[in-house]
A and B are shown apart, each in its own frame.
Chain A
Amino acid sequence: MTAEELLLRDAFFLGVELKLFWVVAFLYIVCFNIGIAYLISSKSGVGRALTSGLWITAIIHTILIIFRTFEGMRPPFQTLYETLSWFAWSVTVTYLYVQRRWKEVHLPGFIVSGISGAACLYSLFTRSPVIAPIPPALQSPWYEAHVIVAFLAYAVFVVSFSVEVCYLKFKVNSDEAPGIFGYIDDEFHRWTHRLVLLGFPLLTFAVFSGAAWANDAWGRYWSWDPKETWSLITWTVYALYLHTRAIGRWKGLPASMLNLLGFICMIMTFLGVNWLTKLLNIPSIHTYAV
C-alpha cells in the first residue's frame, strides 16, 4: 500500500473508533440516568439494571481500548483525548471489581457512571481523536509504568470517593439505610479506608516513577512544576486521611471529609491544573499532557 492509501485506511479506522467511543459515552449517560431513577425509587431491580448496564459499557469500552491500542500500535494513554477515555475505563472496571462483594449495593455506580460519562464527553467535545506516534518526551521505560499506575490509583480513589459519598448519605439520612442497603452502612466507611490504603502506595509509585522519568528526561527529578506540586498535594491529603483514620475521634466524619478533599485534589492534578496554569499564566513543563 502507498503512504496515501495507508493514511486513508487510518482515517477510516479512526472514524469507526470515534463512533464506538460515542456509543460508550452514550451508554455511560444511560447508566447515569438509571442511577438517578434508582436514587429516586430505591428499587432493587433498577439498581441491578444500573450495575448490568455498567458491565455492558465496560465490555464495549474494553473493546474500544484494545481497538485504539492496535490502531496506534502503542499504549492508548498519550493525549488528553486518550487519557480521559482510559480514566473512565479504569474507574468503571475498578468499581465493578469492588462491587462484586456487595450483591445488593448499586448506589456508588451512579456516581461512577456520572464521572466516567463526563470524562468521555469532555474528551469527545474538546479534544481531537487523531492518533500520534509516541513523541521523544514520552519515549521512556517509565512512561507506561507511570501512567498505568497513576490511573489505577485515580480509579481506586474515585471508587473510594463514590463509596464515601454513599456512606455520608446514609449518615445524614440514617433512616433510609435498613431495607435497601441493610448492614452495609459502616462497612462502606471501612471499604473507603481499604481502597485508599490500596491507592496510596500506587499514587506514591506514580509520584516516584514520574520523578525518575523527569530525572532521565529533564535532568531534574523535581521542578516544583504545578502538576508535580498538585500530585504532592494529593499525596499529602491522602496521607492526612490515613493518619486521621488512626486517631480515635477523627476517624469518622473528619476522615470522610479528607477523602472527599483528596478526590478534589486528584481531579485538580489530572485536569484542573491545566486550567489553573492557563488562568494564572503560570508556565508548565507538562504541556504534552494537555
Chain B
Amino acid sequence: MLYRLFSSLKTSVFILAFMGLIFLIGTIFPQGNDIDDYMKAGGRYVALVRVMGFLDIFMSPLFIFTTGILLMNLAVCLYDRLKIFLKVKRKPMDFERLKAHPNVSTFEKADIEDRLKSIGFKLKSGGSGYPSVKIFEKGLQYWWLSWFYHVGIILAVSGFFLTALFAVEKAVILYPDKPETISLYSKETRWNQFLINLGRELPDKSKDDEYVFTLKEFRTEYYQGLRIDYPKDKAERLALGIGIKEIEPSKKGFSYMPKMWLTRLDVKRPDGRILDAELWVNRPFRTGGLTLYQMGYEQKAKLLVHPDRKKTLLGLSEGGKSEMLDIEARKPFEVKELKGKFAIGSLKLGTLFKKDGTTEKIKPVTTVYYIPEDNIYKREVLGELQLGSSLEAKGTVFEFKDYEEASYLSYRKDPGVWLVGLACLFVFIGLFVRSLGAWYRVQYAVEGNTACVLISTRGILADKDRIVKKLKK
C-alpha cells in the first residue's frame, strides 16, 4: 500500500505542489528575522509563524520533513522504474491493430527493413505469427535519461543537506597592516550543534584550521560615465522620445561608475606556508578548504563638525563647540544639539578611468545627507564634500579631515558544493538530452507487397515526417 503510494506519479505531483507552497511562504515572510522584529513591523499570525517556523522556513521541521518525503518518493519511484526498465520487453502490437491504427503509413515496396537499418535504426524485437510485426528503435532511450536526471535531483538535494549541516561562513574586515586570524572550524555548524545537543564536548578552537590574513593592498577603480538629468515626469520622457527635447549631459558633471574592487593579501596557511593572494568580485581565492570572497569595502571618515557656524570670507565664524566625529560611510550619525541625523555616502577614491582613455587619481569625495526625525528612510542631499574642504548646511559646517578604507571579505568552507555542482551537471545534461534529443520507435509489418509502418517519437528534435520521407525514397 505504502509502496504503491510512494511509487505513484500523482503523489509526486502533490508533494511538489506542497513544496511550491512552502517556497511561496518563504518569499512572503522575511527569512532570518526575529519574531520580535516581525511583531514590531505589524506582523499578524504570530502564534502560527512561531509554531511553524515561518521566519526560518527553509530550516524548519516542516520543510525538512517535506523534503524528506520528496526524497523518499523519488527513491521509491526510481527503484520501481528501474525494475521495469531492466526487464523491459518490447511487445509488438498485433498486426490487425497496427493496420487499423489512425497514424499508420503504408508503403508499396517491402524493403523497409534495409532502409531502416541504413538510417541507423536497430532491430529490438521481432514478433511471431504472420505477418510478424517488428520493432526498430533509434536514439537514446528517453526513459533512462529521465531516470538519470531524477538520480541527479537526489544528489543535488543531498549536497544541499551537506551544505546546511557542515558549511562555515564568516566575514572579515581587513585594514592595512592589521593582520587578522580566522578559523574554518566553528562550533556553530548545525552538525556540531547537533553533537553538542547529544552531550559531546567540542573544542572552542582548532589550530589546524587557522589562517592569518595580512592586507597588502585594497584598490577601488571607477569608470567615468555619462550623467543625464532624465525627467521623472512621463510627459517629459515622451517629449524626449519624440524629439521635442534633446538629451544632454548633466550640468552636475559626470558620474562615477564602479569598475573593480581588488584585494591583495598574504594568506598564512595552517601548515605555515604563506601565499600571495589576489582576489576581486567574482574572482574568489581558493586554497585548501578555504575560499575567500571580495564582498565590498568598509570606509570610515573623520569629520570636524562646527555647529552654528558659517563660512565667511575670513574663514569660519564663531559658533558652538566643535566636535571631531569618527563615522562610518552609509551609517547615520548625530550632531549634538541638532535634530534629525546625518550620513555620508560611500567615499569615492582610487583611480578614475576616463572616457578619453586616460586615468586620474580621485581626490576622496563623499556626499552628505540629512535624515529627518519624522522619516528615517528619507535622505536629503546636503552637498558634496571633498577631503580637506568643508560644507555648510543646516547651520553647521562639516570639514572632511581624514579617512580610512578596509577590504570587506567573506570566507567559507562548504563540503556540499562539489556534490551540488556535479548533480546539477547531471540533471541539466539528462534533462536537455531528454527534452531535445530525438528518439524513434518504428513498428512495421509486411503483407504481400505492402508495408505498414507506425512511427512514434519523443523529443523536440524528433521529426516523424523526415523518417517517412527517407523511407519513401
Q: B224 to chain A: which residues have CB within 8 Å?
A: 3, 7
CB distance from A143 to the nearest CB of B (A): 8
> Would B355 and A6 count as touching, CB distance under 8 A?
yes
Query: For the complex, what is the distance from the CA of A4 to the CA of B358, rounded to whole Å?
Result: 13
Q: A130-B230, A211-B424 are in contact. Are A201 and B27 (CB under 8 A)?
A: no
Q: A133-B223, A247-B9, A247-B13 are in contact. Are A282 and B291 (CB under 8 A)?
A: no
CB distance from B438 to the nearest CB of A (A): 13
Can you list, as one digit per residue, whether each of A243-260 has a CB less than 8 Å from chain B (1) or not (0)? 110110010000000000
Judged by a CB distance under 8 angstroms, whether A131 is at the interface is yes
Q: A213 to chain B: which residues have CB within 8 Å?
A: 282
| A281 CB contact (under 8 Å) in B30, B31, B436 | B30
CB distance from A213 to the nearest CB of B (A): 8
Query: For the complex, what is the distance from the CA of A201 to the CA of B30, rounded to whole Å?
Result: 30
Task: List residues of A (84-140) whose CB comes within 8 Å of B's CBs.
Answer: 124-125, 128-133, 135-137, 139-140
CB distance from A269 to the nearest CB of B (A): 10
Query: For the complex, what is the distance from the CA of A135 to the CA of B28, rounded to whole Å?
Result: 29
> Would A243 and B247 count as touching, CB distance under 8 A?
no
Query: For the complex, what is the distance from the CA of A132 to the CA of B208, rounded to whole Å?
Result: 45
Can you list, as one digit per residue, whether each of A34-57 has a CB less than 8 Å from chain B (1) or not (0)? 000000000000000000000000
Task: List residues of A (7-48) whose CB comes within 8 Å of B's CBs.
Answer: 7-8, 10-12, 14-15, 18-19, 21-22
Judged by a CB distance under 8 angstroms, whether B194 is at the interface is no
> Would A133 and B428 count as touching, CB distance under 8 A?
no
Query: For the complex, what is the distance from the CA of A239 to the CA of B19, rounded to whole Å?
Result: 12
> Would B13 and A244 count as touching, CB distance under 8 A?
yes
Q: A194-B460, A243-B12 are in contact. Are A18 and B247 (CB under 8 A)?
A: yes
Query: Main SS of the interface on chain A?
Result: helix
Judged by a CB distance under 8 angstroms, whether A66 is at the interface is no
**Could you say which interface size class chain B belongs to?**
35 or more
Q: Which stretch, A160-168, A171-179, A180-188, A218-226, touches the partner chain B?
A: A218-226
Query: For the complex, what is the distance from the CA of A139 to the CA of B164, rounded to whole Å?
Result: 28
Q: Which stretch, B80-88, B255-263, B264-272, B384-392, touches the partner chain A?
A: B255-263
> Would A219 and B284 count as touching, CB distance under 8 A?
yes
> Would A280 and B28 count as touching, CB distance under 8 A?
yes
Query: For the complex, what is the distance from the CA of A55 to the CA of B169, rounded to whole Å?
Result: 51
> Would A22 and B242 count as touching, CB distance under 8 A?
yes
> Would A204 and B427 count as touching, CB distance under 8 A?
yes
Query: For the complex, what is the distance from the CA of A221 to the CA of B162, rounded to whole Å?
Result: 13
Judged by a CB distance under 8 angstroms, whether B216 is at the interface is no
Q: A3-B224, A15-B247 are in contact. Are A136 and B26 (CB under 8 A)?
A: no
Q: B30 to chain A: which residues have CB within 8 Å?
A: 280-283
> Would B24 and A243 count as touching, CB distance under 8 A?
no
CB distance from A199 to the nearest CB of B (A): 9
Q: Which stretch, B104-112, B178-186, B233-241, B444-452, touches the partner chain A?
A: B233-241
Judged by a CB distance under 8 angstroms, whether B225 is at the interface is yes
> Would B356 and A200 count as touching, CB distance under 8 A?
no
> Would A133 and B234 count as touching, CB distance under 8 A?
no
4 interchain residue pairs of minimum CB distance: A22-B241, A136-B281, A6-B355, A140-B282
- A selection of 24 A-B contacts at a CB cut-off of 8 Å is A2-B356, A3-B254, A7-B249, A10-B226, A10-B355, A15-B246, A128-B230, A130-B225, A130-B230, A133-B225, A133-B259, A135-B258, A136-B280, A201-B431, A204-B431, A212-B424, A216-B283, A217-B282, A220-B169, A224-B31, A229-B27, A239-B16, A250-B13, A276-B28
Chain B positions near chain A (C-beta within 8 angstroms): 9-10, 12-13, 16-17, 19-20, 23-24, 26-28, 30-31, 41, 58, 160, 163, 169, 223-228, 230, 234, 237-238, 240-243, 246-249, 254, 257-261, 280-284, 291, 293-295, 354-356, 358, 410-412, 417, 420-421, 424, 427-428, 431-432, 435-436, 460
